[in-house]
A and B are shown apart, each in its own frame.
Chain A
Amino acid sequence: MDLAKGKFRVSWGRVLLAAPFFALLVMFWAIPLFQGMRLSFESDTLWGDSHFVGFKHYLSLWGDPRYWRAVWNTVLFTVATVAFVLGFALLAAHALRLCWGRIRGPLTFAFMVPGLCPPTVLALLFLLVFHGKEGLLNQWVVQPLGFETINWLSDPDYILSAVVVQAAWRWTGFMTFFLLCALNARPRDVLDAAEIDGVNAWQRFTKITLPLIAPTLLFCLIYLVVDCFAQFAGSYVLFGGSGGTNDAGLLLVSYAYQKAFVGGGFGSGAAVSLSIVPWLAGMLFLIAFAPRAFWKGGGA
């Protein structure tokens, strides 16, 4: 290891190994990114030469109620999805460990399937699942439970829930799998010792398991948050870029799409897209620090 303090030495071996990745990064990511940023400072001219408008698009976002609606929806959606997915995945991971050995493998396999499904097929399927009266969700879940049918795709009170359900369906399997691996990786002896010492199940969970799986949990959390904030596919599958009745389901990525492709303003769209980065960073920052604060306050 070369902790070459004070000396500037170039190790060609390392450069050689790291170069292809970073060269392509500069070529196909950094350059387009700067172009995209530049676009966000240009006028919305669709045909003809655009001109520099500075921060005009960003400033207009500040006073745009639809933008803030999108921010709110995206945050709400992310929090709900993460809570549901991770909560359920944690439960499922524990449950899977209790399952008979022989079916455990195929079960885990089944859990991974949603991630492999093509989005266009999902679009068609979710249309059927979330439909009002005729929808599968209403027929098989809502009505049997005694409730009135819910119009998932047009009732503004439920639209965001539909997006959450769809995201949860797509991600729970993978997250369960990750957490299952994490649970399996816990050192047996620690757990056994605790059980012998008479520590009850809940305490074993909070004091031993949680800290051990914390890194994985964090990783899953980060992945989910990034996906919810930045992925367009889920909401596109349900609404095709729209936000539903009264923008109830409008997410930041859908708003960016609308600005660019329905309004014909690529500059505005780029501004919305770029504005996602600080929100996302802020959210991740909160997530990375909140558990630590909670831990410091709670744990012994």
Chain B
Amino acid sequence: MAASLLAMLACLSRLLGAEPVNIWISSQQDKIYYDNMVRLYQKEVDPNFAANVQAFGFREMPDKLAIAFKTQTNTPDIVQLDEVFFGMYLQGADTPFVDLTDRVKKAKLDVDILPQRLELFSHRGKVLGLPQSLSAVVLYYRRDLFEQFSLSPSQFQTWDDVMRIGADLVAENQSFLALDPSYFGILLRQRGGHLFDEDGGVLPDFDLAVDTLEFLGELAQSQVGLMPDRSTIFDPVFFGGDVANNEIMAIVGADWYGLDMIQQFSPELEGEWGIMPLPAWRDEETKTDSVRTSTFAGQGLVIYKGSEVIDESWEFVEFVMTNREANAQRFLQGNSFPAFKPAFEDLRLLQPQPFFGYDSMGQILVELAPDIPRIAMNPKRPMAVFMIREGLLSGIMYGEGDARSSLTRFKEQLESGGGPPDED
């Protein structure tokens, strides 16, 4: 029955001259946004546009996609893919994604999208996808707890400040920061370090990485930092427990943490959250500070090379990327903050937010945008992120080795069997 319905639909759409574009999304929430975008596109650009937006479980979508690409069967046209999974397909000279470089140039997106974010979905000089979010990392803090302990954001200029003031707080039985394994990558990047270098070597700035991991370990052991029960902050029980019980005062997170997670899981704390830039890393010798932001993950839109409706797909993607309303809605619907520079001037994105005590998240993000560091894209990135999540920080916390040996093991495992080798 499904087959005949599909056949009927195909016939109809061929009559109308529009074949439906298949879009795969990995979140029910985002599917709602894209359904709205399809309607908007039909209203403003092409009433004959037909799209089939499908949401799968967050873990299931990348699995289905990998199989679809491997077998070249049942492939989507457009995919909203997280940059962590994107890297998996960059093995050889050829990838399953359409080279959007020329189209991007024509739409002036090469100028209008923040270069670091555009670079995220590029490989060997070709633009293969467009970033949906800015993914600038900031520090979310609890205003009410700051007040209780007579603290102000301006006191936290550097990570040394965090350690110092944190120690005082610990003496009063209060932890400062929630910890998450993803912070290793985030903080490393903030200091200018990388997980991979140009040739695919792992942890080119090894000593910097060791120092960063040791710092996180110190935070954990001194109790200035609190490791959530499930070793991750992406956990609703963490919000219902540790956060609700005021056990931590701050969380390091990207824009979409605050938009989606924090608001969803602590709605009763409306008005008690504030936003500030990350504390900087101070170099004692040169007395210079690092940038005050970093980046992690984030979704992007890619188009499948074997799609039969590449042009129609591109026009829709271009619309979602450039249309004023589309960019605003992405933020307003709690999805993410766009990486499209002209949207930075949209007042709707810059307005103060009651949830964050009338801080303007948009304002802060726009200020930090130019400082966002690059992410080194590599086919082994998904495995690296996976392994970091698995063992690095919690391993140290449970006494399984020190930072240097853990990272050495990480480096060895990744370089040998972590993922598929570059095919050429």
Contact = CB atoms under 8 A, between A and B. Distances in A.
Interface stretch (A73-81, A187-195, A221-229, A259-267): A259-267
A258 B419 CA distance: 9
Interface stretch (B90-98, B113-121, B211-219, B277-285): B90-98
B379 A264 contact: yes
A247 B391 contact: yes
Interface stretch (A21-29, A43-51, A107-115, A198-206): A43-51
A67 B386 CA distance: 16
Contacts of A155: 398
Given A245-B394, A262-B386, A48 B94 contact: yes
Given A246-B390, A261-B66, A45 B398 contact: no
B103 interface: no
Contacts of A64: 417
B419 A265 contact: yes
Contacts of B62: 261
Contact of B391 (A44, A132, A134, A246): A246
Contacts of A265: 419-420
B417 A47 contact: no
Contact of A261 (B63, B231, B241, B379): B63
A133 B229 contact: yes
Interface residues of A, number: 39
Contact of A131 (B92, B94, B237, B383): B237
A142 B279 CA distance: 39
Nearest to A120: B57
A41 B391 CA distance: 30
Interface in A107-129: 127-128
Contacts of B196: none
A131 B230 contact: yes
Contacts of A154: 227, 229-231, 394, 398
Contacts of A47: 69-70, 89, 91-92, 94-96
Interface stretch (A90-98, A236-244, A273-281, A289-297): A236-244
Interface size class of B (residues with CB under 8 A): 35 or more
Given A45-B92, A154-B231, A245 B420 contact: no
Contact of B229 (A60, A135, A258): A135
A264 B91 contact: yes
A158 to B, nearest CB: 10
A131 B419 contact: no
Interface string A42-66: 0111111000000000001000101
Given A45-B423, A131-B230, A263-B419, A247 B390 contact: yes
A256 interface: no
Contacts of A209: none
B59 A245 contact: no
Contacts of A263: 88, 380, 382-383, 418-420
A128 B240 CA distance: 11
A243 B231 CA distance: 13
Interface of A is mostly: loop
B59 A243 contact: no
Nearest to B231: A154
B42 to A, nearest CB: 32
A155 B227 CA distance: 12
A234 to B, nearest CB: 16
A36 interface: no
B400 interface: yes
Interface in B343-376: none
Contact of B386 (A44, A258, A260): A258
A246 B391 CA distance: 5
Interface string B61-92: 01100100110000000000000000011011
A151 B419 CA distance: 30
Contacts of A241: 59
Contacts of A153: 229-231
B417 A60 contact: yes
Interface in B186-210: none
Contacts of A157: 398
B404 interface: no
Given A134-B237, A262-B382, A245 B231 contact: yes
A262 B388 CA distance: 13
B411 to A, nearest CB: 14
28 contacts: A44-B91, A45-B91, A45-B423, A46-B420, A47-B69, A47-B94, A48-B94, A127-B237, A131-B230, A131-B237, A133-B229, A134-B240, A135-B229, A153-B229, A154-B227, A154-B230, A154-B394, A240-B59, A242-B389, A242-B390, A244-B390, A245-B231, A246-B395, A260-B66, A262-B419, A263-B382, A263-B419, A266-B70
